[in-house]
DNA sequence: CGCGTTTGACCCGCGC
DNA sequence: GCGCGGGTCAAACGCG
């Protein structure tokens, strides 16, 4: 399959046709606030996010910890060409439009699947993003006292991976790098959405 | 017993 | 070619 771009997955969520946004209550999202440690990298505000790309690019960490103030989670998204180097030194990178989240071919190289990274201020290393992951490796990283963990999506047809490690400069920040696109819906998300969808279907009859 | 984690070994790309 | 660092594999192990 080398040299051939994988087919795009079906959209995972019903969309509001007027603004192309997924149908859910954004008030439950964790706050998108900058922190001192993040000041050296650009911040993505909620208004800047292309939710469609975001969701299909497996970034459902946005749904995690529903306002879990105890965790004091702050989220910061990076999706960019410099992600490769970013995952090496975990120093952040340039923010680009989320529409640019897609894999690419490099001359003479293998296809590089889309990658996207989150900075999340949390005491927890493992953040619940709604998908089920299996750890397949852990490595110590140069210039970092914290190891990097490697996870794969447990869905049998899904090839999405993620890496988790602490920020080298601010260890209160967890850097989660997603690689690839889920080809199945997020079970936890669908579980959350289905009552709402049923209610909408019911209301739509009137 | 099935599933997930741990961890050392192995592989591969890159720079020198 | 060699060494280094990152990524993956897979056997052993633990847990429910």
Q: Residue A10: is it exposed, middle or buried by C-beta count within 10 angstroms (0-12/13-18/19+)?
A: exposed
Range A52-80 average pLDDT: 44
A203 has a pLDDT exceeding 70: yes
Residue-wise pLDDT tens digits, A90-129: 433 333 333 344 566 655 556 667 788 888 877 777 777 7
Query: What is the pLDDT at residue A93?
Result: 33
Both tokens of A41, joined, read: 């990298």
Q: How many Å apart are A8 CA and B11 C1'?
A: 30
CA–C1' span, A148 to C12, in Å?
21
CA to C1' distance (Å), from A138 to C10: 14
For A72, counting Cβ atoms within 10 Å of its Cβ (0-12 exposed, 13-18 middle, 19+ buried), the class is middle
Please give the nucleotide, over all strands, whose C1' is closest to the CA of residue A163: C7
Determine the nucleotide nearest to A110 by Cα–C1' distance: B13
Is the pLDDT confidence value at A157 over 70?
yes
Nearest nt by C1' to A109 Cα: B13
Q: Which of A75-84, A91-100, A144-153 has the highest mean pLDDT?
A: A144-153
Give, as ranges, the nucleotides of chain B with any atom within 7 Å of a protein CB.
Answer: 3-9, 14
* Exposure string over A81-100, b if 16+ CB within 10 A, otherwise e: eebeebbeebebbebeebee
* Alpha-carbon distances, residue A16 vs A19, A20, A140 (angstroms): 6, 5, 44
Q: Could you tell me what percent of chain A has a pLDDT over 90? A: 8
Digit-coded pLDDT (tens) for A13-62? 333 333 333 333 333 333 232 233 333 333 333 333 333 444 444 334 33
Please compute the mean of the pLDDT values over residues A200-205 and round it to a whole number. Answer: 83
Nucleotide with C1' nearest the A133 CA:
B4
Q: How many CB atoms lie within 10 A of CB A25?
A: 7
The pLDDT of residue A99: 36
| Nucleotides in chain C with any atom closer than 7 Å to protein CB | 4-10
CA A62, CA A60: separation in Å to the nearest integer?
5
Distance from residue A72 (CA) to nucleotide B8 (C1'), in Å? 36
Picking from A147, A97, A93, the residue whose alpha carbon sits closest to that of residue A117 is A93
β-pairing verdict for A15-16 and A133-140: unpaired
Residue whose CA is minimally distant from B5 C1':
A135
């Amino acid at each position: 399959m080398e040299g051939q771009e994988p087919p795009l997955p079906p959209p995972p969520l019903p969309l509001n046709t007027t603004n192309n946004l997924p149908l859910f209550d954004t008030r439950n999202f964790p706050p998108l606030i900058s922190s001192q440690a993040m000041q050296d990298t650009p911040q993505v505000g909620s208004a800047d996010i292309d939710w469609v790309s975001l969701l299909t690019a497996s970034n459902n960490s946005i749904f995690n910890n529903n306002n879990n103030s105890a965790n004091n989670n702050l989220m910061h998204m990076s999706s960019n060409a410099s992600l490769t180097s970013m995952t090496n030194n975990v120093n952040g990178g340039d923010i680009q439009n989320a529409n640019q989240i897609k894999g690419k071919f490099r001359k003479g190289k293998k296809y590089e699947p889309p990658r996207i990274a989150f900075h999340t201020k949390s005491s927890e290393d493992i953040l619940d993003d709604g998908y089920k992951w299996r750890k397949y490796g852990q490595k110590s990283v140069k210039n970092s006292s914290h190891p990097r963990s490697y996870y794969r999506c447990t869905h049998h047809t899904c090839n999405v991976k993620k890496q988790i490690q602490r920020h080298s400069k601010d260890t209160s920040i967890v850097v989660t790098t997603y690689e690839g696109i889920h080809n199945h819906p997020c079970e936890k998300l669908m579980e959350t959405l289905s009552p709402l969808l049923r209610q909408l279907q019911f209301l739509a009859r009137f």
